[in-house]
Structure 1
């Protein structure tokens, strides 16, 4: 339960509900024990299986005898004081007492469950919020090694497992053990000798329950990982449905999915079979214990005459009453094992190291005044260097374009300037200040990003545009849309700016989605603009519209343009040609053509295309 204990820190704000749950569980356990044993001493007196006691008893050290004699005396006194109807009134009183005890037991049970609801759901809410906040704060590099579906499974299935485990924990710690303890106290009062005989069976039951629990955690962990794999396949399938259908790859993906569900089915069967065996095994062992008590107690009643028959029946009922909480404890233990496996997967994310963090005395930079300087930067994602001693200076108000073949490191520059990743060697400075010394929030507030893939959300047009400026007015949003050359098509949508664009903007064309991305960057109005192949995925007509929008946006701004299509960067102040992580040529469009080097070959290849 090491990982589960770490989850318990989220329970602190809801301690009062936990205490109330414990209080009413104590009452439940007490009334559960009393409701079984209260009736039998009365029935012995009513049906005259024991002689009536006329004188108030005195305590001589024998607690059991004192309690039984007191009940006998009080009941006989009540019967005699009520004349001929005394016995019927005493019987009615006994029935009402039993009803009252069972009512108190069930009311206590309801109130315990009532308060655990607020406790459990509160922890669930805070845990889910903390996990989502951590996901937002982790660097992009963390998720390059993770499957989205597995992360989704941890945020949904695993948290749900932990939620239900909280109920099991409180049952395990308070309710069921107390029910057993109070019942055992009653049994000891009835017959210490017979109770000692019952205790011989408890270690055997504990061994089997512990063995099943250890196996259960191992298989639960496998099942939860496989659930994440299944979700990953579904997420990838939905994202790549056009490709799957276009290449007639349905059978291949279906086979991959069925293999994953077969493994999940195997692990889940193993988990459930081990979980299901815990309860019947504990009941079977309990029945063996009760049968042993019946045999041993029968000798005490029939041969030794050391135990009253009515008390023996009460003892048997109490012994059987232990079976239900024992079964619940075995179920709770299996739940705790599953919950601990789920907690481990959640803690893995919550405790994941965030390599991209603010410096202790990070600067809040609110303006861009001079230049961006990239000095002798080297960087690698894994083993091979993507950038090698890369140096570039970008003055304020200038547009610098990065061109080159795929894999030359162009997009990596954008990732490093925005601190999505940190450099391995060298420095990136804004106005002479290392970006590691600038707070991440203020650094990114200076920048607007338009990527090749238009990342939009299942929301309205207006809300997608105002992501960078949540308090923007409709006038500001419309102005940004006009600059981005998007206002015309937005007006023609069914509900204009209030039109929902669907999942990932699926209701819009590629050019329309890209112009919304540009409008979003325009509305933010940052001094630095980073365009990462913003037109490479568009057709010629859309490219012209988007290119016009980009030119409008880049006016009076410092821009870093990463381009595949060279026609889009001819007017750049400076073009850096990259090969294998280094700059091999730099200059204006005409200067580079005059050099008749790498850039001219790239232009000729695209002209030929």
Structure 2
């Protein structure tokens, strides 16, 4: 029962508590102290007015007009002071100065907690993405990932502040109601009734704002997804004039986003415009009831009005800050959902044993099928010897790329066993295993940064790293290109390497893998997107690396596999034949025909 109550009414608090722990309690206690110091300081206005009006010290009857709050005057007297104007004003000023100091510390601490929370949540998102298995990643919406990590992060900041502003306003509201009970019990009842009635007015707005906020986050995911695809496929969309149709879809999503934002804006405008009239109406009503019905005295009414203003102000600001939190709750929920999904798709990695070097790698009766039952590989047996070069050729759909994904450890076989250094790969630390591979793809991965950072992935420019960088540049035949640049290794390459040629991009990607100090180099159709002259230069690179690394080549072009030690001819997920280039020419009619037609 208690658990259900907490999950229903305190689920947001429990969520923040899971990130920040006891620090939340410290923040709430500081808010309580701010309210008490402010309330006690306000209470002392009554004796100040009475002393100023009468010209004499406070009497017992006058102190009784403060209700239970007269203990403040008793406390001052207990310290040995007379209850004259100067003394009461001095204590009142001290209380307000302490309140100001506490409010500053409270605000500073809240900003620190906000930074800590947003940082920790974003770290979890980044770690979750990093720990996600490749197979599970393929089922994710890239737009959702990008939107949550980027755009929704802004909502996290605003949402955090709005939520804790709401908590602090609620505490201050309770403080002033408590002080009101001490000074005038009837007043407290009236404030509670007024707060309850005003809450009914805004409940409808809160519910609809929350729905609009969640819908806005989902639309943001959709828009990011379509936008990413538009950028990635820009050339095709532009060349075919499909962009004129595609942009209609983008505009449709934009219209829906703006519609939800407009609804949230309207609800917020209603909240903002209704605050003052509600406060005024409740104030007038309570004054009339106290004077005409309850027969309150002038001093009790004055003290009630002071607390009334504070309490009702926090009722409305509480509603406003809660509205702000609800407006940004979509970002919070999107982040929580994504973290949960990341955890469900997390790759399980064993700590030990690690793989410090790949000395042997064997695939024994390997098969792989997709969840829908489609079989891609069937009983593949391969023994990859160190420092040898292997090539896989075959028609599209023959299983070459899937085989490479299995070898590098992106996916695991459905049947069969992969052994590394004589041990089953499933029993070793897969992360350290992957670090022993260099992977060069058809589309080179180039970051919008300098050549040095692209090769070293933001390593420090220490003497050792600069030496390793120079060696990788030399092995990748980039030294001539680099020496011709005014800023040399500090030259920026642009988004996806737009400022350099295709061959240079490919060399940079090769240099990165060589800097990594790997055992196995995989070239996955690394020259298929290059012109003949550039392909020849890259092929020279590959030839120079033979014998220094274990090399795996997937290729369609003859020139990239002629010197391979072993060529595997694949067909419909099976290894149809194997041998050197010349051996396959002699014994495989299919391979010979492929050579004649230059199908690879």
**How far did residue 562 of structure 1 move?**
0.8
1:247 counterpart = 2:220: no
Equivalent of 2:191 in 189, 194, 198: 198
2:104 paired with 1:114: no
Indicate the SS of the match to 1:362.
coil
Q: Quick check: 1:543 aligned with 2:532?
A: no
Given the alignment, which residue of 417, 420, 427 partners 2:407? 417
Kept in 2: contact 1:356–1:420 (CA 8 A): no
- C-alpha offsets along residues 270-297 of structure 1, whole Å, 9 cap, x if unaligned? 2333344345456544443323212212
Deviation string, structure 1 residues 355-388 (Cα, Å, up to 9, x no partner): 53223x6321223333432423223265533223
Corresponding residue of 2:321 = 332
Q: Deviations over 1:434-455 (max 9, x none)?
A: 2111212221132221111111
**TM-score normalized with structure 1 length:** 0.85
Structure 2 runs not aligned, ≥5 long: 1-9
Q: Which moved more, 1:423-432 or 1:38-47?
A: 38-47
Verify: 1:226 aligned to 2:215, yes or no.
no
Cα 1:547/1:99, change in 2 over 3 Å: same
Deviation readout 1:408-458 (Å, 9 max, x if unpaired): 221111111111122222222223322111212221132221111111222
Q: Report the alpha carbon displacement of residue 538 of structure 1 after superposing the two structures with TM.
A: 0.5
Q: 2:140 aligns with which of 140, 143, 146?
A: 146
Aligned equivalent of 1:430: 420
Q: Distance in 2 between matches of 1:96 and 1:33?
A: 16
Q: Give 1:183's match in structure 2, choosing from 173, 176, 200.
A: 176
In structure 1, how many angstroms separate the alpha carbons of the residues matched to 2:528 and 2:117?
46
Distance 1:502 1:204 in 2: 59
Checking the alignment, whether the CA contact within 8 Å between 2:155 and 2:329 is kept in structure 1 is no
Q: Equivalent residue of 1:200, what SS?
A: helix
Structure 2 equivalent of residue 83 of structure 1 = none
Determine the structure 2 residue equivalent to 1:84. Answer: none
Q: Pick closer, same or farther for the CA change 1:591–1:345 going to 2, 3 Å.
A: same
Aligned-pair CA distance for 1:323: 2.0
SS, match of residue 201 in structure 1: helix
Contact 2:191 2:311 in 1 (8 A): no
Residue of structure 2 in register with 1:358 after alignment: 349
Contact 1:282 1:326 in 2 (8 A): no
Q: Which residue of 2 aligns with 1:85?
A: none
What pairs up with 1:85-484 in 2 under 5 angstroms?
Answer: 90=85, 101-173=95-167, 175-281=168-274, 283-300=276-293, 306-338=295-327, 340-351=329-340, 352=342, 353-359=344-350, 362-380=352-370, 383-467=373-457, 472-484=464-476
Following TM superposition, by how much is the alpha carbon of 1:135 offset from its aligned partner in structure 2, in angstroms? 1.4
CA contact (8 A) 1:404 1:564 kept: yes
Q: Structure 2-normalised TM-score?
A: 0.87
| CA RMSD between the two structures | 3.5
1:8 maps to which residue? 17
How far, CA to CA, are the matches of 1:331 and 1:585 in structure 2?
73
Q: Is the 8 A contact 2:237 2:243 kept in 1?
A: yes
State the 1:211 CA deviation: 4.0
Q: Give structure 1 stretches of 5+ with no counterpart.
A: 80-88
3-state SS of 2:150 partner: helix
Contact 2:177 2:191 survives alignment (8 Å)? no
Q: Which moved more, 1:258-267 or 1:549-558?
A: 549-558
Shift of 1:550: 0.9
CA 1:422/1:39 → structure 2, altered by over 3 Å: closer, same or farther? same
Alignment of 1:47 with 2:66, yes or no, is no
Determine the structure 1 residue equivalent to 2:496.
504
Equivalent residue runs for 1:75-90 within 5 Å: 90=85
